[in-house]
Amino acid sequence: MNMNPDKQSLLLWLEDELDATEQASVDAWASGQSNWLAKRESARAWKQALRDVVPASIEPPYPEFFQAKLERALRDQSSVPRPVAESQGSAVWWTKAWMPASVAAALVVGFFASEMRQETKPVQSLVIYTPEEGVKAEFFETSPAEGTVIVLNGVAAIPDDFEVPDTASLDPAGTQGVPGDASAAPTASVLTP
C-alpha cells in the first residue's frame, strides 16, 4: 500500500535529500505520479544548468599569498587566546599560588631578552611575491656580510636586443661623503642608453 508522503518529504524527495528507505517509499508512490516525476526532473535540470555555469569552487587569486597573509594574521594575534579547548575550572590552587613568582620571572627574562635583542637581528618571516606564475624565489641572508640575495628561478631569458631603460643609480664615481656634508653626499644620477 502506498501512503501519500507529507509535504516536507515530497520537497526533500524533489531535491534528492531523503535517506534510502524514505527515498524508496516516495519513489514507489511517485511511480504513478507523472507530474511529480516531471517536477523532480525539472529541479534536477535547473540545478545542473546553474552548476554548469556558476562555479561552486574558485581558487582565489594569488593563492600562496592568501595562505601566507592568513598565517601572518593569525600569528600576529598573539594577544588573542589560542583556540585550545580546555575547561574553565582547570586552574588549580597551586597555579594561582605560583602566579606572582611566574610574573616576576617573566619580567626578569624579558629584561635580559631585551638587552640581548640589541645585539642580534630580529628574525622575520619573509614573503616574496613574484610577478609571473612558475617563478620560484629563494632567499639567502648572510649575517656577517649583511648581504641579502634573492634568486628567481624560471624568469624568461632577457633577449639580446633588449635595451636597458633609463635607470636611477648612485653616483658611479663612488664619491664617499662625510656624514652631514650634503655637498659630498652620494647623488642620484640617471644613466641614459
Partner 1 sequence: MLLGPQIVDPPAHGSAGDEPEGPEDLVLVSRAQAGDMRAYDCLVLRHRNRIFAMIRNMTHNDADAWDLSQEVFIKAWNALANFEAKAKFSTWLYRIAHNVVYDWNRRRKHDAAGELNDEILENDRIDPSAIAIPYVGERPDDHMALGELRKKIDLALAKISREHREIVILKDVQGLSYRDIADVLGCTMGTVMSRLFYARQKLQTLLKDEYESR
Type of residue found at 94: W
State the number of CA atoms in the 13 A half-sphere of 150 facing the CB. 10
Binding residue for partner 1 (CB under 8 A) from 1, 3, 20, 53? Answer: 53
Binding residue for partner 1 (CB under 8 A) from 82, 88, 168, 193? Answer: 82
CB of 126 to partner 1, least distance (A): 17
137 binds partner 1 (CB under 8 A): no
CB contact at 8 A, 15 and 32: no
Q: In the numeric block, which cell numbers belong to residue 26?
A: 516516495
Which phi-psi region, left, alpha or beta, contains residue 62 (left: φ > 0; alpha: ψ -120 to 50)? left
Per-residue contact flags (x/-) with partner 1 for residues 147 to 186, judged by CB under 8 A: ----------------------------------------
Binding residue for partner 1 (CB under 8 A) from 2, 4, 15, 148? Answer: 15
Q: Which stretch binds partner 1 (CB under 8 A): 43-51, 146-154, 155-163, 182-190?
A: 43-51
Number of residues that bind partner 1 (CB under 8 A): 39
Four-residue CA torsion sign, 34, 36, 39, 43:
negative
Binding residue for partner 1 (CB under 8 A) from 3, 20, 85, 188? Answer: 85
Cα(137)–Cα(149) distance, integer angstroms: 10
Q: In the numeric block, which cell numbers belong to residue 48?
A: 545542473
106 binds partner 1 (CB under 8 A): no
Q: Which C-beta is closer to partner 1: that of 47 or that of 136?
A: 47
Cβ contacts of 172 within 8 Å, gap of 6 or more? 189, 191
CB contact at 8 A, 39 and 14: yes
State the number of CA atoms in the 13 A half-sphere of 74 facing the CB. 8
- ∠ CA 79-61-155 to the nearest 5 degrees? 110
Q: Which stretch binds partner 1 (CB under 8 A): 30-38, 51-59, 150-158, 176-184?
A: 51-59
49 binds partner 1 (CB under 8 A): yes
DSSP 3-state assignment of 139? strand
Binding residue for partner 1 (CB under 8 A) from 4, 24, 62, 151? Answer: 62
| Residues at the site binding partner 1, with contacts judged by CB under 8 A | 8, 11-12, 15, 17, 45-47, 49-51, 53-63, 66-67, 69-71, 73-75, 77, 80, 82-85, 131-133
